[in-house]
């Protein structure tokens, strides 16, 4: 598999990401490069909905507002956040809502993500809930609306490139953060620095970059990315290829359970005599926990349960490993299947087709060969 290398315009400082789009800039991480417990910044995926804003020099002077259905509208600088609220660091998964889209048949609209629209970093900041409590939520507060400094794909600031929001209960979760650091470093500009939201477990489009405003609303937010088929799924299964018109739909909230194999890499070759392969990877499950991960060499006839390391905190991914015994030389397909705490498991074949290709969590398949070199 060929990957676009570091140095591609807009991806300076990135290691081995595959470019999916130039305008807006979108790049995913090959699964074998997600083999670290904490995803390095150089290997963290990139997803933009518009163009990049102008970088700032006075990072601590960056300001954002909280207004709408609050008793005390706030305008806070990054320095205010650091000095006035308890600082927290959590290692949490951030995943694009379209991760896995390319596995749908027929093809769905949008960037053709495989499994690489995900990363698990250490995020440092303050709980959005602490800030909202200082602003004083009114009884009419039902939903947030998020606004960033980035222009749309044409370079216009007249409309937001993306503006989504969450129910107040999700906004008040301890792990929903206003973030200024990533893996112990100042939040990189490409990843939303100086300030962004992290809304863990839900589509990454909610984790607004270059954050400028949180609008507290008395109704469901209706910004770009919140209407029509954007980040929405049919309530009842659609026939593959259906256009999704005149069907009941719901907002995509918690992301589905997923696992990936990070070693061996797809296409790996082992020498003659190899009878055991060590396999490892990662699994996550949106708002839920990962109950178990299993792997198979025989198309699901038999399964071997992997050993999992406990997460550091809620929304961390579960790192897993398994030892597979091979019956002999030949060609093998390894599938990994995660099951969440609600008993929902990944399917072999992409299910729940929808026009924009959200929420595909088909099992990851890795091919290995054992025997003489070709």
For the segment 174-211, what is each residue's pLDDT rounded down to a tens digit? 999 999 999 999 999 999 999 999 999 999 999 999 99
Q: Average pLDDT in the 232-256 region?
A: 95
The CATH number for 243's domain is 3.90.420.10
**326 shares its domain with 204:** no
Domain count, the chain: 2
**186 shares its domain with 285:** no
**158 shares its domain with 301:** no
**180 shares its domain with 310:** no
Q: State both tokens at 370.
A: 């054992």
240 within a domain of the structure (yes/no) = yes
65 within a domain of the structure (yes/no) = yes
Judged against a pLDDT cut of 80, whether residue 374 lies above it is answered with: no
Q: What is the pLDDT of residue 8?
A: 55
Q: What is the pLDDT of residue 9?
A: 60
Q: Average pLDDT in the 342-352 region?
A: 96
Provide the 10 A C-beta neighbour count for residue 79. Answer: 14
The per-residue pLDDT of the chain, averaged, comes to 95
3 within a domain of the structure (yes/no) = no
Q: What is the pLDDT of residue 7?
A: 40
8 within a domain of the structure (yes/no) = no
Which of 236, 251, 266 marks a domain boundary? 251
**311 shares its domain with 236:** no
**201 shares its domain with 315:** no
The CATH number for 325's domain is 2.60.40.650
6 within a domain of the structure (yes/no) = no
Supply the range of the domain harboring residue 329. Answer: 258-370
**87 shares its domain with 161:** yes
Q: What is the pLDDT of residue 159?
A: 86
Task: Give tens-digit pLDDT for 14-42.
Answer: 999 999 999 999 999 999 999 999 999 99
Q: Give 5's pLDDT tier (boundaries 50, 70, 90).
A: very low
Q: Average pLDDT in the 94-117 region?
A: 97
**87 shares its domain with 233:** yes
2 within a domain of the structure (yes/no) = no
Which of 204, 229, 251 marks a domain boundary? 251
Q: What is the pLDDT of residue 53?
A: 95
Judged against a pLDDT cut of 70, whether residue 353 lies above it is answered with: yes
The answer to whether 266 and 364 are in contact (CB under 8 A) is: no
Q: Average pLDDT in the 344-363 region?
A: 96
**175 shares its domain with 67:** yes
Which of 251, 278, 310 marks a domain boundary? 251
**173 shares its domain with 312:** no
181 within a domain of the structure (yes/no) = yes
**263 shares its domain with 192:** no
Task: Give tens-digit pLDDT for 259-316.
Answer: 999 999 999 999 999 999 999 999 999 999 999 999 999 999 999 999 999 999 999 9
5 within a domain of the structure (yes/no) = no
**198 shares its domain with 133:** yes
Judged against a pLDDT cut of 70, whether residue 6 lies above it is answered with: no
Percent of the chain with pLDDT over 70: 97
């Amino acid at each position: 598999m060929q990957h676009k290398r570091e140095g591609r315009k807009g991806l300076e400082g990135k290691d081995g990401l595959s470019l999916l789009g130039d305008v807006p800039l979108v790049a995913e991480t090959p699964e074998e490069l997600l083999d670290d417990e904490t995803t390095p910044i150089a290997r963290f995926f990139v997803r933009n909905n518009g163009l990049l804003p102008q970088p700032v020099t006075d990072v601590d002077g960056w300001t954002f507002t909280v207004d709408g259905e609050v008793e005390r509208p706030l305008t806070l600088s990054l320095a205010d956040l650091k000095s006035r609220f308890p600082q927290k660091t959590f290692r949490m998964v951030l995943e694009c809502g379209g991760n896995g889209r390319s596995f749908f048949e027929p093809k769905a609209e949008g960037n053709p993500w495989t499994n690489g629209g995900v990363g698990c970093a250490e995020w440092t900041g303050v709980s959005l809930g602490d800030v909202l409590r200082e602003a004083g939520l009114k009884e009419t507060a039902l939903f947030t609306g998020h606004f960033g400094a980035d222009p749309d794909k044409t370079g216009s600031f007249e409309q937001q490139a993306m503006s989504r929001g969450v129910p107040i209960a999700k906004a008040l979760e301890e792990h929903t953060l206003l973030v200024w650091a990533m893996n112990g470093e100042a939040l990189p500009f490409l990843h939303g620095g100086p300030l962004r939201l992290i809304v863990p477990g839900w589509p990454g489009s909610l984790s607004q970059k270059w954050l400028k405003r949180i609008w507290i609303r008395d109704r469901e937010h209706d910004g770009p990315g919140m209407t029509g088929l954007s980040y929405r799924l049919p309530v009842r299964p659609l026939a593959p290829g259906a256009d999704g018109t005149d069907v009941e739909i719901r907002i995509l909230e918690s992301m589905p359970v997923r696992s990936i194999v990070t070693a061996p890499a797809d296409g790996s070759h082992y020498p003659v005599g190899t009878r055991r392969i060590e396999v490892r990877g990662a699994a996550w499950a949106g708002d839920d926990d990962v109950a178990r991960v299993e792997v198979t060499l025989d198309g699901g006839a038999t399964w071997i349960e992997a050993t999992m390391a406990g997460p550091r905190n809620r929304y961390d991914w579960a790192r897993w490993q398994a030892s597979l015994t091979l019956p002999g030389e030949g060609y093998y397909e390894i599938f990994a299947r995660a099951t969440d705490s609600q008993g929902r498991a990944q399917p072999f074949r992409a299910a729940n087709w929808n026009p924009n290709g959200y929420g595909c969590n088909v099992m990851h398949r890795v091919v290995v060969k054992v025997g003489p070199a070709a």
